[in-house]
């Protein structure tokens, strides 16, 4: 495949999205002002908004960027783990230990709360991000059931939600307390639950 | 005790706080504008801000109001339950089934995310609200241990955080999906965990 260098305009656009992701993830979409974004990018208002049709569009693209980074960080090293139970456990560990480069906590949690009663475009992106995460975990569980690593009869959606909810809720506590303790406790609880309720012990 | 009727000014102040609580809990503290608040209260800017030193003060009072309502809703009917294990289970059920009168989801989750990187006063109020909730659950666990209803050796803070994190994270999912399924699943998981890991079976 031939690599084409992105145009100057495309590079600038990407840089704005990246700065907006960092700004909005810390301050929220209402709290992150155009002035902040001008300062972060060194661009004038016109230089920013000629790349986007609206603040909503920029917010959606910034969320996608932030989510992509977070999602990738959580899946670090998963491919080299053959067993699906261990893979799910590593995903949980990654959530606690591998923080994405974009500051401000989990973009999904932030955006879910932020777009809850206001920005339907952004809310739609958050809903799809959640769906993607649920699907990723569910597919690991389903594969584990097929391979005999995970017990039959596990409710894949329910377990995926249990993992996501425990981690996101613990992140809320951890950020308020400025301590990772709640996150580490949540991971330990999930690991224990997975070992006793999920892993097919007969196979060992 | 003699009941004194609150002055007209105090009544207006309370009405503003109540409207601000509803507005900020839905839209966030940045997203809820003065215009929205003027519309909701029927007051002019001066009529609103002569009661408060700043938007931050109003935001903090609005949060306290919203949190008090939520916290009360979650503790409904707890006093009539004698056993502490059942009390904790009812608290979890209340979180799912008894929604507070103030719309927009859990004020703690909303405010924790909203005040995370910006409003230190508001963040401090959210941190204290979390602490109050943790303490409430921990005291029920501790009482249950003393009375022999709950096994010795349970880590009270860890369990309190597990309950809070699972419910708040499930609420994030439920609000994105516009379905209570994730919340009901989280409550069922917690109930099961409490029965098997917490309740002192020897005592039965």
Closest partner residue to A113 among B109, B117, B193, by Cβ?
B109
Do B104 and A117 make contact, defined as CB atoms within 8 angstroms? yes
Closest partner residue to B176 among A26, A28, A130, by Cβ?
A130
The mean per-residue pLDDT over the stretch B143-161 comes to 96
Task: Return the residue of A nearest to B164 by Cα.
Answer: A169
Report the pLDDT value the prediction gives residue B1, as an integer from 0 to 100: 54
The mean per-residue pLDDT over the stretch B22-29 comes to 92
**Do B169 and A105 touch, CB atoms closer than 8 A?**
no
**Do A24 and A30 touch, CB atoms closer than 8 A?**
no
Residue of A31, A126, A159 to mutate for B, most B C-beta atoms under 10 A: A31
Report the pLDDT value the prediction gives residue B203, as an integer from 0 to 100: 59
B80 pLDDT band (50/70/90 cuts)? very high
Task: Return the residue of A nearest to B107 by Cα.
Answer: A113
The mean per-residue pLDDT over the stretch B13-26 comes to 95
**CA-CA-CA-CA dihedral for B174, B178, B179, B184, to nearest 10:** 20
Closest partner residue to B28 among A30, A175, A193, by Cβ?
A30
Residues B49-76 pLDDT 10s? 999 999 899 999 999 999 999 999 999 9
Residue A2 has pLDDT above 70, yes or no: no
This complex has an ipTM of 0.94
Residue A56 has pLDDT above 80, yes or no: yes
Distance, in Å, from the CA atom of A100 to the CA atom of A68, rounded to the nearest integer, reads 10
Q: Which residues of B fall within a CB distance of 8 Å from A185? A: 158, 161-162
Report the pLDDT value the prediction gives residue B2, as an integer from 0 to 100: 59
Do A170 and B165 make contact, defined as CB atoms within 8 angstroms? yes
**CA-CA-CA-CA dihedral for B156, B160, B166, B169, to nearest 10:** -140
Residue B204 has pLDDT above 70, yes or no: no
Report the pLDDT value the prediction gives residue B58, as an integer from 0 to 100: 95
Q: Chain A closest CA to B155's CA: distance in Å?
A: 10
Q: How many CB atoms lie within 10 A of CB B51?
A: 18
Residue A146 has pLDDT above 90, yes or no: yes
Q: Chain B closest CA to A61's CA: distance in Å?
A: 19
Q: Which residues of A fall within a CB distance of 8 Å from B117? A: 26-27, 103-104
Do A176 and B126 make contact, defined as CB atoms within 8 angstroms? yes
DSSP bridge pairs for A199: A150
- Percent pLDDT > 70 in chain B is 98
pTM, to two decimals: 0.94
| Least confident stretch, A63-67, A148-152, A172-176, B116-120 | B116-120
The mean per-residue pLDDT over the stretch A106-135 comes to 93
- Percent pLDDT > 90 in chain A is 82
Do B165 and A162 make contact, defined as CB atoms within 8 angstroms? no
Do B169 and A173 make contact, defined as CB atoms within 8 angstroms? no
Report the pLDDT value the prediction gives residue A112, as an integer from 0 to 100: 94
A203 pLDDT band (50/70/90 cuts)? low
Q: What is the DSSP letter of A102?
A: S
């Amino acid at each position: 495949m031939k690599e084409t260098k992105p145009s100057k305009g495309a590079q600038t656009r990407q840089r704005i999205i990246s700065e907006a992701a960092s700004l909005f993830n810390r301050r929220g979409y209402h709290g992150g002002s155009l002035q902040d974004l001008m300062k972060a990018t060194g661009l004038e208002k016109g230089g920013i908004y000629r790349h986007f049709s609206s603040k909503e569009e920029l917010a959606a693209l910034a969320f996608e960027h932030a989510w992509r980074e977070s999602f990738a960080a959580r899946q670090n090293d998963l491919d080299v783990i053959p067993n699906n139970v261990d893979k799910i456990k590593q995903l949980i560990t990654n959530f606690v230990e591998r923080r994405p480069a974009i500051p401000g906590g989990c973009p999904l949690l932030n955006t879910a709360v932020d777009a809850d009663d206001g920005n339907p475009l952004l809310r739609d992106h958050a809903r799809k991000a959640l769906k993607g995460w649920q699907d990723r975990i569910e597919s690991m569980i389903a594969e584990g059931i097929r391979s005999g690593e995970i017990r039959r009869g596990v409710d894949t959606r329910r377990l995926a939600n249990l993992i996501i909810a425990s981690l996101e809720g613990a992140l809320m506590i951890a950020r308020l307390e400025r301590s990772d303790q709640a996150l580490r406790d949540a991971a330990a609880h999930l690991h224990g639950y997975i070992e006793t309720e999920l892993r097919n012990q007969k196979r060992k």
